[in-house]
């Protein structure tokens, strides 16, 4: 499963890249607002840090305006992926970009039927929002399983991108459910390496090693 960093904070993306834990990046208008920075400048900086796909979301609601915004964003770098909302207008824009050979990420997906429409529109990625479904007491991971099954059954090339992933358990469950990609906040990605028994074991090894009085080099 690929890891995308779900953030618009450039320093965090840079750090993940250094650990080799960065396969791509997703942003959304809320993350851009949180960064307090210029949208196009941030996207350009992120694209310079990774060859992986970088999702940049349109703000328009109607397909012609989405297409104009998307074409503008796509000129920032070759690895920009145009993020479009899962609406009829967004699907129309998705078909346009697919025909142009421009990659898309169809976002705000909350049902298998929505995902089916996005796959039929040629979406490169479909983003089901796991955490926001869980927030309502629904089963976000069940949606990942359903969409993966649909994509496999009909051999759609659309990749299932588990979004709104907020915990280590979400990451594990998304991997088990067969998500091709999970987009995850950097703090959660880094936390995947941690285990209390690893820390405890390492402390013991360090203590025992010091008592040997040896050095490797």
Q: Are strands 54-57 and 181-184 parallel, antiparallel or unpaired?
A: unpaired
The reply to whether 164 sits near ligand E4P by the rule CB under 6 A is yes
Q: Which of 2, 83, 190, 200 does the annotation list as catalytic?
A: 83
Please name which of 7, 8, 29, 76 lies closest in space to residue 48, comparing C-alpha atoms: 76
216: left (phi over 0), alpha (psi -120 to 50) or beta: alpha
Number of continuous H segments (helices) and E segments (strands) in the chain = 11, 8
* Closer residue to ligand E4P (CB): 136 or 217: 136
CB of 130 to ligand E4P, least distance (A): 8
Query: Residue 182's beta-bridge partner residues?
Result: 3, 162
The reply to whether 104 sits near ligand E4P by the rule CB under 6 A is no
Q: Residue 187, class by beta-carbon neighbours within 10 Å (0-12 exposed, 13-18 middle, 19+ buried)?
A: exposed
CB of 53 to ligand E4P, least distance (A): 12
The reply to whether 125 sits near ligand E4P by the rule CB under 6 A is no
200 tagged catalytic: no
Of 120, 132, 172, 180, the residue at the interface with ligand E4P (CB under 6 A) is 132
Please name which of 70, 77, 75 lies closest in space to residue 24, comparing C-alpha atoms: 77
The reply to whether 28 sits near ligand E4P by the rule CB under 6 A is yes
Residues 168-187 that bind ligand E4P (CB under 6 A): 183
Angle at 106 between CA 25 and CA 175, to 5 degrees: 60
The reply to whether 3 sits near ligand E4P by the rule CB under 6 A is no
DSSP string, 48-109: HH-SS-EEEE---SSHHHHHHHHHHHHTT-TTEEEEEESSHHHHHHHHHHHHHT--EEEEEE
Please choose, out of 12-20, 84-92, 123-131, 152-160, the segment that lies near ligand E4P by the rule CB under 6 A: 123-131
The reply to whether 7 sits near ligand E4P by the rule CB under 6 A is no
* Closer residue to ligand E4P (CB): 129 or 156: 129
The reply to whether 2 sits near ligand E4P by the rule CB under 6 A is no
CB of 129 to ligand E4P, least distance (A): 5
Using CB under 6 A, list all residues that contact ligand E4P. 6, 26, 28, 107, 127, 129, 131-132, 163-164, 166, 183
């Amino acid at each position: 499963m690929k890891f995308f960093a779900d953030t618009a904070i450039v320093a965090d993306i840079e750090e993940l890249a250094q650990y080799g834990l960065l396969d791509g990046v997703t942003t959304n208008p809320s993350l851009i607002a949180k960064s307090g920075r210029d949208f196009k400048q941030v996207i350009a900086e992120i694209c310079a840090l990774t060859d992986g796909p970088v999702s940049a979301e349109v703000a328009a609601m109607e397909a012609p305006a989405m297409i104009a915004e998307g074409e503008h964003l796509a000129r920032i770098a070759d690895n920009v992926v145009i993020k479009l909302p899962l609406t009829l207008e967004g699907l129309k824009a998705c078909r346009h970009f697919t025909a142009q050979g421009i990659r898309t990420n169809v976002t705000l997906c909350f049902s298998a039927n929505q995902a089916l429409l996005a796959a039929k529109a040629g979406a490169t990625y479909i983003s089901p929002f796991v955490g926001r479904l869980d927030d309502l007491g629904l089963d976000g991971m069940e949606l990942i399983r359903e969409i993966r099954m649909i994509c496999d059954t009909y051999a759609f090339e659309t990749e299932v991108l588990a979004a709104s992933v907020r915990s280590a358990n979400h990451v594990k469950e998304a991997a088990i459910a067969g998500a091709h990609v999970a987009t995850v906040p950097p703090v959660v990605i880094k936390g995947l390496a941690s285990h209390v028994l690893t820390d405890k074991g390492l402390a013991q090894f360090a203590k025992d090693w010091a008592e040997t009085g040896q050095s490797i080099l």
